[in-house]
Structure 1
């Protein structure tokens, strides 16, 4: 099953760059080495599960199915320090289109065209909410630099097959990450878009939540548009004594 964001064709799989064997092996043998030190410490209790997921990806690669994003980006969301996270945005799983997924939820490579339609809708709401014109690229890494964790619930996907790696084991790891964020007792706001993200509410304790429909074209008009997630998030951060997020994105 595919989604409106799955602009996929089989020829793209054949043209996927080959995975670096050393990186793929390291992902299975020492996954914590891909993380910032405080994330590595927080996720040490699930290191065994991380290694099992690395072995799963090696098997997917060896069997010719491949996976997205590339191995060096699978744990990218944990590369910035946990201590700096002020906002958590939860996605479902990576874009299934080769060239789109880069290890940060809703983010793409800067040269990706056309932009995924969920991201186009995020930009529309950002403009309506904050007056920020839509970016011409899909690189959301400046948000991550400013303390926004872009966490997919499931960290990998088979090219062209949305949801294919759900219930393979990633959920144990991302649950642990969310619990670790909450346990810091530092200012935090969680943005939950859609029913899948809302299922995480029990893990978030008393964390202030910004909840709406998912930005997918299938649901954006049923509560995402007009929800003001960016302004509401900054208001909630200020109420906790934390600074607001700068949601602007630099041009190409």
Structure 2
């Protein structure tokens, strides 16, 4: 990450020792048992989406905690693994909003400028939220603040109560916040279905002189 355009602006938001703490945490937890995603995918969100290209932020809470699912991008899993229920519901809403995406790996979104950021970047196998509150939130809050400072139009898609708490970090009037219930089966029928986040995002981007996302890619 040191060679990325993300590094210096994120570092400027955090105490000098913080990156050392992250490395120590990673060394400790990956030596202690099975952790997701694979260690080389922990920072995949900011590796896949260049800072200057960010157009949309989709904020998740923490990675999937089942074998082969987490790939460092919020809500995304490889096509070789079945789509979890929340991702299935995201694809249903996409179908009703814009059209059918033929696969469920969201890497192509990330490569177009969709920052697929989890607030917590690691999880122990089988333990949802197992690393919440331990190390990651200052880092991912710093990422959100860096994106907030950008001049280009950006859409923040916030699904569920946890993601919506991050609105306090989004203060730039040039940006748009799209929020609804979480796509989880427990809440999707309470306002996620029918919210049309994908067409909303593209309408905002194109109206501000940017190009929309090809969500079906």
State the TM-score, normalizing by the size of structure 1: 0.80
Structure 1 residues 63-74: aligned runs within 5 Å: 63=32, 65-74=33-42
Among 67, 72, 78, the residue aligned to 1:98: 67
| Structure 1: gaps of 5 or more residues | 1-31
1:182 and 2:151 are equivalent in the alignment: no
Does structure 2 conserve the Cα–Cα contact (< 8 Å) formed by 1:110 and 1:138? Answer: yes
Paired residues in the alignment total 212
Question: Once the 2 structures are TM-superposed, how far is the Cα of residue 176 of structure 1 from its aligned partner?
Answer: 0.6
Q: Which of 19, 39, 45 pairs up with 1:50? A: 19
Distance in 1 between the 2:28 and 2:153 partners?
A: 40
| Distance apart, 1:53 and its partner CA | 2.0
What does residue range 152-191 of structure 1 map to in structure 2 within 5 Å? 152-191=118-157
User: Which structure 2 residues correspond to residues 12-161 of structure 1 after superposition, within 5 A?
Assistant: 32-33=1-2, 37-45=4-12, 46=14, 48-63=17-32, 65-79=33-47, 80-112=49-81, 114-130=82-98, 132-135=99-102, 137-161=103-127
Contact 2:160 2:180 in 1 (8 A): yes
Judge conservation of contact 1:57–1:67 (CA < 8 Å) in 2: no
Which contiguous aligned blocks of 4+ residues in structure 1 show a shift greater than 6 angstroms?
none
Q: Secondary structure at 1:37's aligned position in 2?
A: coil
CA RMSD of aligned residues (A): 1.4
Asked if 2 retains the 8 angstrom alpha-carbon contact of 1:49 and 1:169, the reply is no
Matched residue SS, 1:122? helix
Indicate the SS of the match to 1:197: helix
CA distance in 2, matches of 1:200, 1:119: 21
Q: If the length of structure 2 is used for normalisation, what is the TM-score?
A: 0.93
Whole-angstrom CA distance in 1 between matches of 2:59 and 2:160: 9
**Structure of higher CA gyration radius:** 1
Per the alignment, do residues 49 and 151 of structure 1 end up closer, same or farther by CA in structure 2, a change over 3 Å counting?
same
